[in-house]
Amino acid sequence: MTQKVAVVTGSSSGQGYETSLILARNGFHTYATMRKLEGEGPKEIAHIAKNENLPLEIIQLDVNNDNSVSDAINKIANEKNRIDVVVNNAGYDLMGALEETSVEQIKAQFETNFFGAVRVMQAVIPMMKKHGEGIIVNTTSLGGRISFPLNSAYHATKFALEGLSESVRYELEPFGIKIIVIEPGGVGSNFLNNLKMATKTSDPLNAPYRSMENRISEYFEQWSKNAIHPSEVAKVILQAVTSDNPEFRYVVGKDAAIALESRRNMSDKEFYDSIKKQMNMQKQFED
């Protein structure tokens, strides 16, 4: 049998790093792609691949750049003439009040989290159509189904990727191409270390945002203590792409499952009030 080929974006750390390794360990010729080839992450994954003799290659791919995406996919096409699995994982989180977030920052967030996935999908779909099969995995988030305060740009990108995935699923099914959405809850990884903050203003009328930030920071500090390891997300991705009949959505993490169940069973107002209560926000404007 021809060895299957997988491509994973954002593989220098976290979920992408673990997904690249688990796919390679399970027989996929895996291209671990990343924006920068320098740093500890690329060195570590290369060291592991060499020691374990894994079918894993590291190549440069910046999802924000059309040429970088096309160059990487063309390189793989020339070497393997097939791509069976693509995992769109590259992304980052931008936090801050919408009022204090510049349009440029929001555009940059969409460029990576949304249009980055679009670029990769458009690059690989023709090859998958040619072979009459393929799997595209879009990593969204619990934040693609539920929104939290001070995260509007991030949620917008993840909601958008969810909607795109639902629509394109109809388009690609006749060509044998499956779309899978992975929705992790809290994941302990470098994702939080790569968190970007919106530009703040000195306007005293915006003081309530500072109070909200403090409360949410406290909440997420506690939340992060129960975050799952990125390898747990990678295991679910492996399960999905090796299944004969994969689900469309995979919720990963107990926190995500509980939150989504609560959302299903509550009215909009009930859920809105529950989020405020969890984050101790009821009296924020009294501070």
Residue 193 has pLDDT above 80, yes or no: no
Assess if residue 219 is contained within a domain: no
Nearest CA to 87 out of 48, 124, 36, 112 is that of 124
Q: What is the domain range of residue 102? A: 5-202+229-262
Where residue 130 falls among pLDDT bands split at 50, 70, 90? very high
Where residue 204 falls among pLDDT bands split at 50, 70, 90? low
What local confidence, expressed as pLDDT, does residue 245 receive? 96
Angle, helix 66-80 to helix 116-131, in steps of 10 degrees: 30
DSSP secondary structure letter of residue 188: -
Among the options 154, 209, 219, 272, which is catalytic? 154
Residue 287 has pLDDT above 50, yes or no: no
Assess if residue 271 is contained within a domain: no
* Sheet (strand 177-184) strand order: 56-60, 29-34, 5-8, 85-88, 134-139, 177-184, 249-252
How far is it, in rounded angstroms, from Cα 165 to Cα 140?
A: 10
How far is it, in rounded angstroms, from Cα 154 to Cα 192?
A: 13
pLDDT tens-place string over residues 145-190: 999 999 999 999 999 999 999 999 999 999 999 999 999 998 986 5
Number of Cβ within a 10 Å radius of residue 253: 20
Assess if residue 60 is contained within a domain: yes
Assess if residue 167 is contained within a domain: yes
Cα 268 to chain centroid distance, Å, stands at 26
- What CATH number does the domain containing 79 carry? 3.40.50.720
How much of the chain, in percent, has pLDDT values that exceed 90?
78
Q: What is the mean pLDDT of residues 127-136?
A: 97
Assess if residue 149 is contained within a domain: yes
109, 160 contact by CB (below 8 A): no
Instruction: Give the chain's domain count.
Output: 1
Assess if residue 286 is contained within a domain: no
Residues in the chain: 287
CA distances from 191 to 22, 222, 230, 275 (A): 19, 16, 10, 22
What local confidence, expressed as pLDDT, does residue 137 receive? 98
Say whether 272 is catalytic.
Answer: no
Residue 1 has pLDDT above 70, yes or no: no
Assess if residue 276 is contained within a domain: no
pTM attached to this predicted model: 0.92
Average pLDDT over the chain reads 91
Nearest CA to 33 out of 84, 75, 3, 4 is that of 75
What local confidence, expressed as pLDDT, does residue 159 receive? 98
Residue 179: φ, ψ to 5°: -110, 130
Residue 285 has pLDDT above 50, yes or no: no
CA distances from 48 to 40, 89, 181 (A): 12, 20, 28
